[in-house]
Amino acid sequence: MKARFADAAKALFEIPGGPRVDFAHPPGEPALAAPDSVSWRIFKNPVSLFVGGVTAVILELAEPRVRTGVWEHSSFRIDPLTRLKRTGLAAMVTVYGARSTAEAMIAGVGRQHARVGGVTPDGTAYQADDVELLDWVQATASFGFLTAYHALVQPLSQEDRDRLYAEAVPAARLYGAVGAPTSEAAWEAQLAAVLPGLERSEIVLEFLALMRAVRIAGPLSRIQHPLIRAAVGLVPEQVRDVLGLGREWLPRPLELPVIRAAARLADRTPIPGAPPYEASVRMGLPGEWLYRRAPLAPT
């Protein structure tokens, strides 16, 4: 069962015909985050990563300028799963990749953002590299991945939750998100400031419909719809209200225990060849090291 699960989980990181990143090289070169960081611990979990990624995208699409840029200048509506995998791979490189690899990738993303711009349906001009928008995208990613792990794998202490936001700052600045939150309190303040500008859009429902229609890897496909409902449930209530995501979008009775069981299995199942495994090897650690470590401090 664990072998089948590992194969399915590994597929969540793989993009057919996409870029290949060697996380095991160069030997000894550090990543932007340290091996003993909270980031290395939580990003290894493919179940919470998938759920948190969907949560982050919902929050991104609530912001009209980000939504227009994403929907008009990416492949989300054509191939949402591959686009989500690309976002996941970027997160893997940012957290686990050798610093030189991560810096090169982030510079490339910056060049792409510099070419993206336009006007929202209500006539508001935007550029993808606007600092305000980059800050929001970075904040939603940190919130989504952190909250999914906290809710579905194991509760994290306030100190560890704050550490996760702080650990993201060096990479965020490379992306141009110089005002990204540095703590959970800073995230909550940013959400309160951005909330008046968020708005309902049918594109959010279209995105969720697309995510329900595509097929994710192996055994996880059996709980795909519950995973998506779990992602909606992690969106802050005030944002769900703005988006019109009512109770019908939330997890059903008994779904969360099943998801938590899968997520906790993922947390202790080494996946040879996956970024966390290979990055540990690069740093002279056993590939299974992250999966054998003691749990993070509970809340």
Strand partners, 117: 127
**How many Cα atoms within 13 Å fall on the side-chain side of residue 87?**
27
Which backbone phi and psi does 158 adopt, to 5 degrees? -60, -40
Alpha-carbon distances of 11 from 46, 240, 252, rounded to whole Å? 10, 30, 27
- Asked if pLDDT for residue 275 goes beyond 80, the answer is yes
Predicted local distance difference test score (pLDDT) of residue 106: 95
Work out the percent of the chain whose per-residue pLDDT is above 70.
Answer: 90
| Range among 72-76, 107-111, 294-298 rated most confident | 107-111
Q: Residues 23-59: pLDDT tens digits?
A: 999 999 999 999 999 999 999 999 999 999 999 999 9
Q: Considering only CA atoms, which of 47, 29, 154 is closest in space to residue 93?
A: 29
- Asked if pLDDT for residue 271 goes beyond 60, the answer is yes
* Helix (H) / strand (E) containing 125: strand 125-127
Work out the percent of the chain whose per-residue pLDDT is above 90.
Answer: 74
- Asked if pLDDT for residue 8 goes beyond 60, the answer is no
Per-chain mean pLDDT for the chain: 90
Q: Which of 9-18, 155-164, 167-176 has the lowest mean pLDDT?
A: 9-18
If DSSP codes are grouped into helix, strand and coil, which group holds residue 242?
A: helix
Q: Tell me how far apart the alpha carbons of residues 284 and 132 are, in angstroms, rounded to a whole number.
A: 39
Looking at per-residue pLDDT, the higher value among 148 and 273 belongs to: 148
Predicted local distance difference test score (pLDDT) of residue 4: 59
Looking at per-residue pLDDT, the higher value among 9 and 102 belongs to: 102
Looking at per-residue pLDDT, the higher value among 67 and 298 belongs to: 67
- Cα–Cα–Cα angle for 20, 45, 184, nearest 5°? 110
Where are the domains positioned within the chain? 2-15+29-284
Q: Residues 103-153: pLDDT tens digits?
A: 999 999 999 889 999 999 999 999 999 999 999 999 999 999 999 999 999
Predicted local distance difference test score (pLDDT) of residue 2: 55
Predicted local distance difference test score (pLDDT) of residue 237: 98
Q: Residues 171-229: pLDDT tens digits?
A: 999 999 999 999 999 999 999 999 999 999 999 999 999 889 887 766 677 899 999 99
User: Whats the size of the chain, residue-wise?
Assistant: 299
Predicted local distance difference test score (pLDDT) of residue 12: 62
- Asked if pLDDT for residue 73 goes beyond 90, the answer is no
Predicted local distance difference test score (pLDDT) of residue 15: 64
**Ranges assigned E (strand) in 50-100:** none
- Asked if pLDDT for residue 14 goes beyond 70, the answer is no
Confidence of residue 10 (pLDDT cuts 50, 70, 90): low
Predicted local distance difference test score (pLDDT) of residue 81: 74
